[in-house]
Structure 1
Amino acid sequence: MRQLPLADEFYLVSHDEYTGKCHLNARVFESGLAGAVVAELAIRERITVVNGLVTVVDLRPHRERVSDAALAEIVKERAEHPVRSWVEYLRKDALEMVRPRLVEAGIIHRVESRGMLRSTVRYPAVDRNDAAAPRARLRYMLDHPELLDAPTAVLAGLVLAVGMTDLIAVRGREAREGLGRFAATLPDVLKEIITAVELVAATLAVAPKL
Structure 2
Amino acid sequence: MRQLPLADEFYLISHDEYTGKCHINAKVFDSGLAGAVLAELAVRQRITIVNGLVTTIDQRPHRERVSDAALAEILKERAEHPVRTWVEYLRKDALEMVRPRLVDAGLIYRVQSRSMLRSTVRYPAVDRNQAAAPRARLRYMLDHPELLDEPTAVLSGLVLAVGMTDLIAVRGKEAREGLGRFADTLPDVLKEIVTAVELVAATIAVAPKL
Shorter-chain TM-score bucket reads over 0.9
* Structure 1 residue aligned with 2:17: 17
Q: Using the TM superposition, give the Cα deviation of residue 74 of structure 1 relative to its aligned residue in structure 2, in angstroms.
A: 0.3
4+ residue segments displaced more than 2 Å: none
Q: Using the TM superposition, give the Cα deviation of residue 209 of structure 1 relative to its aligned residue in structure 2, in angstroms.
A: 4.7
* Structure 2 residue aligned with 1:165: 165
* Structure 2 residue aligned with 1:83: 83
* Structure 1 residue aligned with 2:44: 44
Q: What per-residue deviation string (whole Å, max 9, x for no partner) do you get for residues 112-158 of structure 1?
A: 11112211111000000000000000000000000011000000000
Conservation of the 8 A alpha-carbon contact between 1:7 and 1:33 = yes
User: What amino acid is aligned across from residue 17 of structure 2 in structure 1?
Assistant: E
* Structure 2 residue aligned with 1:103: 103
Q: Which runs of 5+ in 1 are unaligned?
A: none
Partners in 2 of 1:120 and 1:72 — Cα distance? 31
Does 2:1 match 1:5?
A: no
Partners in 1 of 2:17 and 2:2 — Cα distance? 17
Partners in 1 of 2:84 and 2:112 — Cα distance? 35
RMSD of aligned Cα (Å) = 0.7
Q: Which runs of 5+ in 2 are unaligned?
A: none
Helix, strand or coil: the match of 1:23? coil
Helix, strand or coil: the match of 1:81? coil
User: What amino acid is aligned across from residue 76 of structure 2 in structure 1?
Assistant: K
* Structure 2 residue aligned with 1:179: 179
* Structure 1 residue aligned with 2:34: 34
Helix, strand or coil: the match of 1:121? strand
User: What amino acid is aligned across from residue 136 of structure 2 in structure 1?
Assistant: A
Indicate the larger mover: 124-133 or 113-122. 113-122
Matches within 5 A, 1:77-156: 77-156=77-156
* Structure 2 residue aligned with 1:70: 70
Partners in 2 of 1:97 and 1:26 — Cα distance? 15
User: What amino acid is aligned across from residue 54 of structure 1 in structure 2?
Assistant: V
Q: Using the TM superposition, give the Cα deviation of residue 206 of structure 1 relative to its aligned residue in structure 2, in angstroms.
A: 2.1
Matches within 5 A, 1:186-197: 186-197=186-197
